[in-house]
């Protein structure tokens, strides 16, 4: 059955172009378009699409407000279009916090210069986030009423309730003097990381590194956002930064982050041969080499299998690997790869991971 898509944008050119690209895929059906946020809400209620593509800046009602209303009234996976700027990053993070699943850069030049690449990426994103639809059905964010803006200190994204944390694979966390906590994630990661990291006390005893698939223009804004919300410190990693307890270093977009045995961070150019920049496997692998069995790695929501091979190296060194459970993932791809490869020492719901990190590292 074809994925039904509603395209929302105030630009007639962009609506037509996105509709043409999606309609060229025989497994996608564009069921409607809208020119502003209010039309988007009406169309979402009437057409019940599987996915909505959403612009931010529109007349009458902006995209973030529209997402908030849609998540309250008819929760639907939303793919945001955003500009690759610091302001675009801030807006996109607000949209994800409001309930959007994923985002794509809105780049007219790229569409003209490389239409095949854009077509493949857009259709892949739509197909992938359509599969998250069942996780949104019937769920809405606590306190996320259409009349009220979400709190700046709490995620308003609707997330399915976690399954009980203690599954067959999930014993109590193993307490240890870890030299590093490494967290890797992709789609759904910005909200998931916020949920985990805001549970950690400022006195958290271990250093952290964060690897989130994200464009170069976004990671600084994301680190700043997390730093404001969390008790621990969060910053975008720079070459030569030192690992410190209670400090989380976020891998910069478009580059690779490695750890050496002295606890120093190396930031390297993104290798064009690698699909992900930053890549979870690269950072996990360097952590395994540097700290052997003193690493606690966590793989959160995301599509694909990045992190699996790095986790394998960590397990071979004696370190611990956790995976987020399927019920609380936006996209159960990266954690599933860990579980299927029998690399997970524990599988926890999203809202339990922060608490267990505190227990394990205390």
Catalytic residues: 186, 213, 306
Residues 6+ apart with CB under 8 A from 19: 7, 30, 33
For residues 52 and 6, is the Cβ–Cβ distance under 8 A? yes
Angle subtended by helix axes 189-197 and 350-361, to nearest 10: 40
User: Counting beta carbons within 10 angstroms of the beta carbon of residue 161, is it exposed (0 to 12), middle (13 to 18) or buried (19 or more)?
Assistant: exposed
User: What is the helix, strand, coil percentage profile of the chain, to 5?
Assistant: 40, 20, 40
Separation between Cα atoms, residue 229 and residue 153, nearest integer Å: 6
| DSSP strands (E only) in 59-212 | 78-82, 102-105, 180-185, 208-212
Distance CA 345, CA 323 (A): 8
Cα distances (angstroms) measured from residue 304 to each of 230, 276, 331 = 28, 10, 9
Strand pairing class (255-259; 265-269): antiparallel
How many residues belong to the chain? 362
Distance CA 143, CA 122 (A): 32
């Amino acid at each position: 059955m074809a994925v039904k898509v509603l395209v929302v944008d105030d630009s007639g050119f962009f609506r037509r172009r996105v509709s043409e690209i999606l309609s060229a895929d025989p497994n996608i059906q564009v069921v409607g378009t809208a020119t502003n946020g209010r039309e988007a809400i009406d169309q979402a209620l009437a057409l019940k699409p599987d996915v909505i593509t959403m612009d931010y800046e529109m007349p009458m009602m902006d995209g973030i407000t529209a997402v908030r209303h849609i998540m309250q009234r008819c929760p639907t996976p939303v793919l945001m279009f955003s500009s690759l700027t610091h302001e675009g990053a801030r807006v996109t993070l607000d949209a994800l916090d409001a309930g959007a699943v994923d985002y794509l850069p809105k780049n007219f030049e790229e569409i003209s210069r490389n239409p095949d690449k854009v077509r493949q990426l857009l259709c892949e994103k739509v197909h992938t986030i359509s599969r998250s639809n069942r996780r949104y059905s019937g769920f809405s964010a606590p306190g996320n009423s259409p009349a009220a803006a979400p709190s700046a200190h709490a995620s308003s994204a609707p997330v399915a309730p976690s399954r009980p944390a203690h599954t067959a694979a999930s014993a109590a966390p193993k307490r240890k003097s870890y030299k590093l906590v490494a967290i890797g994630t992709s789609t759904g990661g910005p909200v998931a990381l916020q949920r985990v990291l805001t549970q950690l006390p400022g006195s958290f005893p271990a250093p952290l590194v964060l690897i989130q698939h994200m464009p170069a223009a976004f990671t600084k804004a994301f680190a700043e956002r997390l730093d404001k919300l969390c008790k621990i410190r969060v910053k975008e990693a720079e070459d030569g930064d030192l690992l410190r307890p209670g400090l989380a270093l976020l891998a910069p977009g478009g580059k690779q982050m490695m750890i050496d045995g002295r606890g120093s961070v190396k930031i390297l150019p993104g290798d064009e041969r690698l699909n992900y920049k930053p890549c979870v496997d690269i950072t996990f692998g360097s952590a395994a080499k540097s700290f052997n069995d003193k690493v606690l790695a966590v793989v959160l929501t995301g599509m694909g299998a990045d992190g699996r091979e790095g986790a394998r190296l960590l397990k071979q060194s004696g370190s611990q690997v956790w995976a987020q459970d399927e019920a609380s993932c936006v996209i159960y791809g990266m954690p599933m790869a860990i579980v299927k490869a029998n690399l997970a020492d524990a599988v926890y719901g999203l809202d339990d991971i922060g608490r267990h990190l505190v227990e394990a590292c205390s």
